[in-house]
Amino acid sequence: MTDSEQPETETAVSQPQWPENGGQWSDEEGGAGMDECGLAEMAEEDEEIDIYNNETFGMEVGDTEGDPTNPLFKFGEKPPAPPALPSLSPSSPSFSPRARPQLRVQGPPGRRGRGQRGGQAMAQMFEDPAVVRTVEGRPSLQVITTLARSVVSKACREMLFSSYVGVSCNGDVLFTQVGGLPSPRPCPSTPQPLTPKMMQLRFGANSPRPSPFYSPSSNRVQRFRFPGPVTQLHPQHRRLLSQRQQRSQRKPDSWDPYCNLMSAKEKEWIIRLQMIQLQSENPHLDDYYYQEYYRRMEAKLAEEELGMRGKREPPKLTTPYVTKMDSYTPVVHIEGSLGQVAVSTCFSPRRAINAVAAHCPHELFMVLLEVEEGQRMKAQVLGEGEEKGLMEKTEIKVEYIYSQLQHPDLEAEEEFLPCLLVSKGKQLLARLLPFLSHDAALKVLSMVTSHLPVLMSRDADESLPVLYPSLRIVIGGMTFSQLIGVLKDFTTSLPDSSDGSVCLSLVCQSKFGLSLLYALLSQGERLLSSDVPLEPSIGDFETWTDTVFLVASQLSQSALVEPLLLPSNLLTLFCRYLDKRTIHQLKSNME
């Protein structure tokens, strides 16, 4: 790195050291665009260049003396400054000071008029950012070697990665390319020695891009493509960008030989990446400021132009980013589920098991809570008027829940079935039962008993017992006839079965079923042994007796699970009807 100091100190006399030579930097700054100069400008420069060239290269090489940067000053423009340029002289020791090659160190290669000569092909060549300098005139061997040597030494010093130097002559133009960086496009008019590195760099992501760059009118640096179909910009945004693009194209820039290391393609790629990261389903939430900014701008413009052209159709505020989401309908929430839906479920939603979708037990629970709250309040001493009002409200709520629980599609008997299949539904019903009218409660009970086998088999998490307490209370209020009716469900056998009720055998295996059965029997016994007139319907007693017998025989035969509650009067009931032996068996089984 000490090498680089040498030229700098040498040139200290003529110009301040880098990086303090701010005056020289300023030319390079500003983005280093090779922009569209105005034609007039270019013509002007052409003339100047011609004059200069005639003066210098028209004569023998080496005629002119002085600081290599002098021609540039003569040229009237500030020297584009990289320290490499002054290094030219010291690195060619073989030359006498007099024979210093008058290399026209050109800023934007080719653009300033020179590129116009020879037509488009030339322009393309010189548009190559890796071109450090161009030399024109009759190439002499000295020039070439000097150039090569300076370039190589500079390359060795400066470039970390492998550089290639190609020197070729094309007509009266000599140029070199320095740098391991690929030229973004092939120069068809120049045969170059292609090193493997170059080859490598010419393909893949660094492969040269076609047409847009071949037109000299393209603004290579400032030019960009809208980041592609993946991202959508706000229409206002798009307009803004195109406006800026046009504006910047008119602005002339000075040249930086090392600029455009990043091709426009690469810049685009990064922008695209960044925009993808900005994509969201809810831009108004996630990207509020962007949205707001453009909304306001749009509103302002619309307001301004409202008077001018009448109401121009305001461009629709499209969601700027999200386009690819249309391919599927996102499942954002599954009814009755807790928490977020997993991504996998979003894309392939499974059929909801236990979907009590239409019923939404949650909401019903809320209402139930209110009802219970009402009950508790009622327990407190209230004024009569208030109590009435409260009662009414409670009733309404209860009705509401009741109606909600009923599934409209099913038959009358099966209304509550979907609810009961879900454990939550069971809990809900259990808590609701106390509030229901006797008839409604009976209905529930009968429904339970008639579908008992189904319920028992589907009771995977053993939540049926939660219904027991409430049902027991209901049973406690049943009349004999009602009881008989319900009991029938237990004893009905399938038409083609011969060994008694399937239900009964299942019941023996289920805690809930057995408990329910016991409760019913107990109720019957209680009713019978009490003094309250039973008002039975015809055939009730017979049914009762039959039922008892059937149940007893079943119970004595099969192994019983332990019930939730063993009513005390059961044995007495059986005693009355059955013989001693059976009773004995029953007793042992039930305990």
Partner 1 sequence: MNYMPGTASLIDDIDKKHLVLLRDGRTLIGFLRSIDQFANLVFHQTVERIHVGKKFGDIPRGIFIVRGENVVLLGEIDVDKLCDNVLQQVSIEEILEEQRLQQQAKQKTEKAKVTALKDRGLSIPKADNLDEY
Residue 273 has which token pair?
Answer: 């990446």
Q: CB of 293: closest distance to partner 1 in angstroms?
A: 5
**What DSSP state is assigned to residue 177?**
E
Answer yes or no whether residue 74 interacts with partner 1 by CB under 8 A.
no
Place of tokens 């209370």: 473
Contacts by residues 280-285 (CB-CB < 8 Å, ≥ 24 positions apart): 280/321, 280/322, 281/322, 281/325, 281/330, 283/319, 283/320, 283/321, 283/322
Q: Measured from the CB of residue 178, what is the shortest distance to partner 1 in angstroms?
A: 13
Q: Which of residues 241-300 bind partner 1 (CB under 8 A)?
A: 241, 244-245, 248, 256, 258-262, 266-267, 270-271, 273-275, 278, 289-290, 293
Sheet with 131-136, side-by-side order of all strands: 131-136, 173-177, 166-170
Q: Which residue blocks in 15-164 are alpha helix, DSSP H? A: 22-28, 39-56, 70-75, 119-126, 141-158
The torsion of the CA quartet 359, 362, 368, 374, rounded to 10 degrees, works out to: -140
In this structure, are residues 567 and 518 in contact, taking their beta carbons and an 8 Å threshold? yes
Compute the distance between CA of residue 347 and CA of residue 316 in angstroms, rounded to an integer: 29
User: Do 153 and 193 form a contact (C-beta atoms < 8 A)?
Assistant: no
Question: By CB under 8 A, is residue 199 in contact with partner 1?
Answer: no
Q: Does 224 bind partner 1 (CB under 8 A)?
A: yes
Which residue of 63, 158, 395, 540 would you call a contact of partner 1, by CB under 8 A? 158
Q: Which of 6, 10, 12, 19 binds partner 1 (CB under 8 A)?
A: 19
Residue 399: DSSP 8-state: H
Stretch that binds partner 1, among 15-23, 92-100, 185-193, 458-466 (CB under 8 A): 15-23
Residue 95 in contact with partner 1, rule: CB under 8 A: no
Q: Does 1 bind partner 1 (CB under 8 A)?
A: yes
Pick the stretch among 19-27, 137-145, 450-458, 479-487 that binds partner 1 (CB under 8 A): 19-27
Q: Cα dist. 233→244, 303, 325 in Å?
A: 15, 22, 16
547 lies in the binding site for partner 1 (CB under 8 A):
no
Minimum separation from the CB atom of position 257 to partner 1 (A):
11
**Dihedral angle, C-alpha 186, 189, 194, 200, nearest 10 °:** 10
* Contact region with partner 1 (CB under 8 A), list: 115-123, 158-166, 188-196, 420-428: 158-166
CB of 323 to partner 1, least distance (A): 17
Helix spans in 119-186 (H): 119-126, 141-158
Residue 301 is a binding residue for partner 1 (CB under 8 A) = no
Q: Map the footprint of partner 1 across residues 361-380, applying CB under 8 A.
A: none
Minimum distance of partner 1 from residue 155's CB (angstroms): 12
Q: Does 357 bind partner 1 (CB under 8 A)?
A: no
Question: Which letter does DSSP use for residue 15 in this model?
Answer: S
> Rule CB under 8 A: is residue 345 a binding residue for partner 1?
no
Q: Which of 484, 491, 486 is nearest to 537 (CA)?
A: 484
Task: Count interface residues toward partner 1 (CB under 8 A).
Answer: 45
Please, which residue, 30 or 171, has the CB nearer to partner 1?
Answer: 30
DSSP letter for each residue of 264-307 = HHHHHHHHHHHHHHH--S-HHHHTHHHHHHHHHHHHHHHHHHHH
Q: Which one among 108, 109, 113, 227 touches partner 1, defined by CB under 8 A?
A: 227
**Which residue among 176, 222, 515, 547 contacts partner 1 (CB under 8 A)?**
222
The answer to whether residue 317 forms part of the interface with partner 1 (CB under 8 A) is: no
- Of the two residues 82 and 109, which places its CB atom closer to partner 1 in the complex? 82
Least Å distance, CB 156 to partner 1, is: 11
- Which of 39, 160, 338, 460 contacts partner 1 by CB under 8 A? 160
Binding residue for partner 1, selected from 79, 80, 82, 184, defined by CB under 8 A:
82
Residue 278 beta carbon to partner 1: minimum distance, rounded to whole angstroms? 8
Amino acid at 109: P
Rounded Cα–Cα distance for residues 115 and 108 (Å): 10
- Residue 32 or 398: the one with the smaller Cβ distance to partner 1 is 32
Residues in contact with partner 1 by CB under 8 A are 1, 4-5, 18-20, 22, 25-26, 28-29, 31-32, 82-83, 157-160, 222, 224, 227, 237, 240-241, 244-245, 248, 256, 258-262, 266-267, 270-271, 273-275, 278, 289-290, 293
